[in-house]
Structures are given as structure tokens and as C-alpha cells.
């Protein structure tokens, strides 16, 4: 393809306005970052992965422009200056981007661990990070996604820069989300968890009020990690365990994880991680001044010049302290904004696009985020080993935690569905009927112009209209329930969440890989597709919805809804987890939203609870006659 159609397709040598792309630096859920050059000078260019659109539920354009505006309003030696804000390729309808200085360096995490720096060294850096935070809080601005991956330590002089203002709160700015702003789940403070589990959070327009104390909690997480090499709470815990741990379980004392850590820094970390915001230090300035005082008073003592424990000393066999301990081994996944996302992030929507939406981003972007160089202004994507092992909270038998159950109370499920989205609510054991009626037709109606035009550019064969045979592919949410493989046409388990399929839009049996999100009901599986993967690994936005092969109806019939003849199912392979259903086979039709001026296939939308009316009696009678 000679001309880039999407930021994902920009390559070295291409131009965005006057900036020549050198290489890709990073990629997250909502944006992509390039190293660019102009008149011999290097810059970092961050671009949204969605164009401006009135139907953009995740407000990607709004968030990236707010990030640029916030940096324009904040001039500080530890922040990156904004040089340009615009859209590409068209100024009114294109993808928003902004340009900042390029800072060669590594994240705070990588810098502190790879160089085995001492508390005497990293406390100085952390103190500098607090200075721009002071300036922000003085103006009513909150970062809301402070973490080790969002601090870049520059090569040479080791000056830190606070980056990634994609979740920033600007006083007086137009609200972009309800619930919780985009952020990193394990860094969310207890008061945020209390909010999302409260009745207030169910009110239309309800938002968790941004406050500096939440940023200070994140500083506590950062300090805890620097002292111990562990997170206060393991991000790999089941969501319900993680939320409850943040809300009510004290972190393990840092000195139990690293006996060599300075007592004074351990005590400060625990105060910053207090469940009650009133018990935390009053301001970023107070924290910075305390760090500076401790460094001046105690900096000559042995603990302050003792490097943190290297990875090999903290293996998975480490002695348990209130649960099994596993060390940090690499940077966390990018926020996904989450991650952890675009219109199809219905897998874990709620809390605005925020809190648990990050879980959805982690699930939905396992295929598309390449390894990246750690540099400003984007937090690095994970390296090949994947999500890092981290310190783990394990449930205390004397304090049982809620576990998934197929009989979750209706009122509780209603709240979880409203707050966390259908898929995450199903992880808690809630019923599979979505809180909001599936609306494939409405989804297609909102398809952005760019996604519709991509269909024209891709040259799909349209002799039968814009709907095409499609086959589900095995993955985390799709598995066989017989001795045959899914690819061989076997009956299959399908769970809510990210899903992949092969669609055949060409006459020569050439398929394309499409990605989307599935929502399950007892009678049908609904899938909304939003990406088409190209042979070079890049992707283009599209809009597609699954429809029945045997009916002109949206939604794939489940085996409970109608049982196909000669479909073998091994009961031992049936997935009985909440939300999982069985399909008779992997084939269905995908209805694609066509370019402007073209007609969409005429497909009916029925009640998701209505039993499919597919009659196989004629086929069965014919088989009986053939056997005679």
C-alpha cells in the first residue's frame, strides 16, 4: 500500500506535515508515538489512533488534545514542551497529534533496576518528579496516571520527566467521561474503589472527583516499588480480589520484603498508601521536602547506599509474607486506555472508560502492541515475556473473598454490570443477559466515515452485498468442545471478550483477519468487529456485526437456542464458567457497514432472549430417505 490510510501504517520515511518519521517509539491503546525529524532536530510525535468523530464513545480525540493543552499550560523543567498540535492528514477530520521534545532515556523502573541504583540516588530523582506535581496541584490539575512507566530518566544527566498526561484533570474543562478517568488499575486509590461500588456511581453523569491525594497514593505505589521491587497489590489477581485488596487490605510492610530498606522511607511509603486520604501527607511539596530532609539527614548511612535486591534474589520461591511473593520483572502493560479503548471496548467499559476498562485493554491489545523503545512521551509496551510477575496478595482463609458464582444476587449484578461492563460482571458470576440490549444495527449506524471508506479502498467483492462468510478462530475466548479442532468446524465454547475471526470478502477464497468483541446471551452471541488486520501486521478500522448463517438476523444462535444435526459435543470439554455458551459451529456471516452511498445488507434485529427459529426437519427427513 503506497499511501498510509491510518497512523498504524506510517513507516520510516513517511511524513506527517513537515515531520519525517524515523521509527516507531511506542504504541498504546489510544495512541502511537514516533521519533520524527525536522530540520535535523529530533522530536517525539504522538498521534491518536482514532480520528475526530461525534460518535467516538471513548473520546480519544478529546483526550489527546487535552493532554497537549495541559502541557501547553504547564511550563516546567521536568515536563516536555509542546511544539505543535494538529491533525493528519486533514485538519478538520484527521487524527490528532502533537509534537514534543524527544528525550532519550529509560523509565524510572528500568533505570532503578538495571543500574542497581541506591536509595540515595533514586530519592533525588523521585524528589524532582514531585516538583512538577506540586506545580500542577497548585493550579488544580491532577495527573491521575502517575507510575514508574510514566517517568522517563534522561540519559547523561539523569533528569526525570513526568510524561503521559492522557488522563489529566484540568479544572473547568469539559468532562470527557463518567465514573473514573482512564488510569492504571493497580494504582487506583481506595477512595476510587469505594466510589465505583457506591450508589452515587450509578447516577447519570457521576464522576470520581479528581484530588491531589489520589496522585499522592500513586507516589506511594512508586516509592513502595522502588523499595521492594514489588507492587503493593498484584495486578494479576482476579479483579474482585484486587479491588477488595486495594480497598481493605494493608500492603505488606516493605521491610518484610527488603530488610535492607531504610526504615524512614518504608514508613513514608505506608503513609502514602493509607486507605484514608486524610492520613496521607497533605501535599506533594510536603512529600518532596520530607524526602529531601531524610536524604540529607540519613544519606550517609549504609541502607541509603545499598542497591535494591536484584531479580535473581527475589525469585518465585521467595518466602511468603501474607501470601506468595513474585518480583517485578519488567514494565507493566501500557495504560490502556487501556488497553486499557475504542468503540468496541465494551468488554470492560464502565467507570467511564476508566478503572476496569484497563483490564479490557490488556485483553484486547495482546495482539497489536509491538515491543517498543522506552522513551518519552509514551510509556513502554511490554517486552516479549508479557505481563510481569509481581508481588501478590493472597486471600486470607479467615477473610474469605467473593468468588465467581452462577447465582450472584441480581441487585449486585445490576450494579456490577452498570459499573464494570457486561463482561467483567460476568467474571464475577453474573447472568449472561447484558445490562443493555445488544444493538448491532445501532453500532453500524455510528460507524465513522473513515472506517466505511476503508471498505472501498480494500476492494471487497460485493456481489452478495456487504456481508461475508466468516469463521471464528481459537483463542482465549474460543475453544473446541469436541475431538475436532475449531478450524475443522467443531462445536465450540465462546466467552465474552476479545475475539478473532477469518472473513472471506473476496471471490478467490482469500480471507482477512478481523478482530472485535463478543457479548453472550443464552440464545445468541453478538460480535462487533472494529479492526481488520493487514498482511504486514498493521490494521485498519472497520465496522462489522455478526449475523446468523441460517437467518437474516443479527447474532449467532447458541446450541441452547437451536441444536444443529450431527454436531458432536464432549460434555467434559464444555466451559461452565459464567458467560460461556456453546455454538454449534464456528461459521457465521459478518455484516459490514459499507461506504457512503452503498446499501447495508438487510438484517433483522430480534429480542436477544427469543429462541431462534431454525428448522432442520427437511434435512433430517432427507437423510432418513437416503439411509433407506
Kindly report the CA angle at 220 between 216 and 222, in degrees rounded to 5?
110
The phi, psi pair for 257, rounded to 5°, reads -90, -35
CA-wise closest residue to 245 among 185, 299, 316? 185
46 is in an annotated binding site: yes
How many Å apart are CA 249 and CA 190, to the nearest integer? 10
SS3 611: coil
Count of Cβ atoms closer than 10 Å to residue 123 Cβ = 22
Cis peptide before 377 (omega within 30 of 0): yes
Q: What is the C-alpha separation between 197 and 244, in angstroms, rounded? A: 11
Distance separating alpha carbons of residues 160 and 40, to the nearest angstrom: 25
The answer for residues whose C-beta is within 8 angstroms of residue 343's C-beta and 6 or more apart is 55, 56, 57, 58, 443, 446, 528, 530
**C-alpha–C-alpha distance, residues 190 and 230, integer Å:** 19
Q: At what angle do helices 284-298 and 212-228 cross, to 10 degrees?
A: 30
Identify the CA nearest to 108 among candidates 390, 392, 386, 376: 376
Please count the other Cβ atoms lying within 10 Å of the Cβ belonging to residue 486: 22
- DSSP H helical ranges for 78-170: 108-114, 119-138
Strand partners, 36: 21, 43
- CA gap 262, 227 in Å, rounded: 8
Residues in binding site? 46
Residues in binding site for ATP? 46
Amino acid at each position: 500500500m503506497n499511501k498510509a490510510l491510518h497512523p498504524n501504517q506510517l513507516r520510516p520515511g513517511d511524513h506527517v506535515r513537515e515531520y519525517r518519521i524515523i521509527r516507531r517509539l511506542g504504541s498504546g491503546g489510544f495512541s502511537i508515538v514516533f521519533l520524527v525529524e525536522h530540520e535535523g532536530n529530533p522530536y517525539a510525535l504522538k498521534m491518536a489512533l482514532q480520528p475526530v468523530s461525534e460518535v467516538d464513545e471513548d473520546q480519544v480525540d478529546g483526550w489527546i488534545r487535552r493532554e497537549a493543552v495541559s502541557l501547553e499550560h504547564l511550563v516546567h523543567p521536568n515536563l516536555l514542551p509542546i511544539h505543535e498540535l494538529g491533525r493528519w492528514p486533514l485538519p478538520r477530520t484527521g487524527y490528532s497529534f502533537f509534537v514534543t521534545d524527544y528525550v532519550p532515556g529509560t523509565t524510572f523502573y528500568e533505570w532503578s533496576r538495571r543500574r542497581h541504583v541506591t536509595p540515595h540516588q533514586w530519592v533525588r530523582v523521585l524528589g524532582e518528579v514531585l516538583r512538577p506535581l506540586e506545580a500542577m496541584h497548585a493550579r488544580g490539575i491532577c495527573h491521575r496516571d502517575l507510575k514508574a512507566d510514566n517517568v522517563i530518566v534522561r540519559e547523561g544527566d539523569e533528569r526525570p520527566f513526568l510524561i503521559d498526561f492522557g488522563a489529566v484533570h484540568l479544572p473547568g474543562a469539559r468532562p470527557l467521561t463518567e465514573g473514573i478517568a482512564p488510569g492504571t488499575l493497580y494504582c487506583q486509590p481506595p477512595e476510587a474503589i469505594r466510589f465505583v461500588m457506591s450508589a452515587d456511581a450509578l447516577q447519570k453523569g457521576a464522576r470520581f472527583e479528581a484530588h491531589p491525594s489520589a496522585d499522592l497514593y500513586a507516589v506511594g505505589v512508586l516509592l513502595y516499588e522502588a523499595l521492594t521491587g514489588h507492587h503493593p497489590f498484584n495486578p494479576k489477581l482476579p479483579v474482585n480480589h484486587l479491588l477488595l485488596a486495594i480497598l481493605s487490605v494493608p500492603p505488606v510492610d516493605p521491610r518484610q520484603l527488603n530488610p535492607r530498606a531504610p526504615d524512614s522511607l518504608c514508613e513514608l511509603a505506608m503513609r502514602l498508601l493509607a486507605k484514608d486520604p486524610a492520613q496521607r501527607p497533605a501535599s506533594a511539596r510536603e512529600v518532596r521536602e520530607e524526602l529531601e530532609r531524610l536524604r540529607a539527614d540519613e544519606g550517609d548511612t549504609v541502607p541509603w547506599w545499598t542497591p535494591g535486591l536484584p531479580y535473581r534474589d527475589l525469585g518465585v520461591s521467595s518466602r511468603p509474607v501474607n501470601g506468595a511473593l513474585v518480583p517485578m520483572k519488567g514494565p507493566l502493560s501500557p495504560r490502556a486506555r487501556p488497553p486499557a479503548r475504542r468503540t468496541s471496548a465494551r468488554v470492560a467499559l464502565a467507570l467511564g472508560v476508566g478503572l476496569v476498562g484497563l483490564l479490557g485493554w490488556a485483553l484486547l491489545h495482546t495482539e497489536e502492541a509491538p515491543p517498543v523503545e522506552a522513551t518519552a512521551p509514551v510509556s513502554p509496551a511490554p517486552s516479549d515475556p508479557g505481563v510481569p510477575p509481581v508481588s501478590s496478595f493472597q486471600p486470607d482463609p479467615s477473610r474469605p473473598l467473593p468468588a465467581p458464582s452462577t447465582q450472584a444476587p441480581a441487585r449486585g449484578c445490576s450494579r456490577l454490570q452498570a459499573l464494570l461492563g457486561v463482561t467483567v460482571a460476568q467474571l464475577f458470576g453474573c447472568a449472561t443477559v447484558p445490562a443493555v440490549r445488544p444493538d448491532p444495527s445501532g453500532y453500524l449506524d455510528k460507524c465513522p466515515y473513515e472506517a466505511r471508506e476503508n471498505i472501498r479502498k480494500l476492494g471487497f467483492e460485493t456481489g452478495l452485498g456487504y456481508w461475508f462468510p466468516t469463521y471464528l478462530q481459537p483463542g482465549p475466548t474460543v475453544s473446541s468442545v469436541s475431538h475436532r479442532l475449531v478450524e475443522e468446524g467443531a462445536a465450540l465454547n465462546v466467552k465474552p471478550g476479545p475475539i478473532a475471526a477469518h472473513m472471506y470478502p473476496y471471490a478467490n477464497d482469500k480471507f482477512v483477519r478481523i478482530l472485535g468483541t463478543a457479548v453472550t446471551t443464552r440464545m445468541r452471541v453478538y460480535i462487533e468487529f472494529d479492526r481488520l488486520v493487514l498482511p504486514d501486521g498493521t490494521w485498519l478500522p472497520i465496522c462489522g456485526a455478526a449475523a446468523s448463517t441460517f437467518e437474516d438476523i443479527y447474532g449467532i444462535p447458541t446450541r441452547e437456542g437451536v441444536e444443529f444435526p450431527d454436531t458432536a459435543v464432549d460434555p467434559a470439554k464444555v466451559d461452565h464458567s459464567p458467560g460461556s455458551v456453546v455454538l454449534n459451529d464456528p461459521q457465521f456471516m459478518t455484516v459490514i457497514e459499507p461506504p457512503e452511498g452503498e446499501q447495508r445488507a438487510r438484517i433483522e434485529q430480534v429480542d436477544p432472549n427469543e429462541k431462534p427459529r431454525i428448522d432442520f426437519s427437511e434435512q433430517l427427513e432427507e437423510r432418513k430417505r437416503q439411509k433407506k
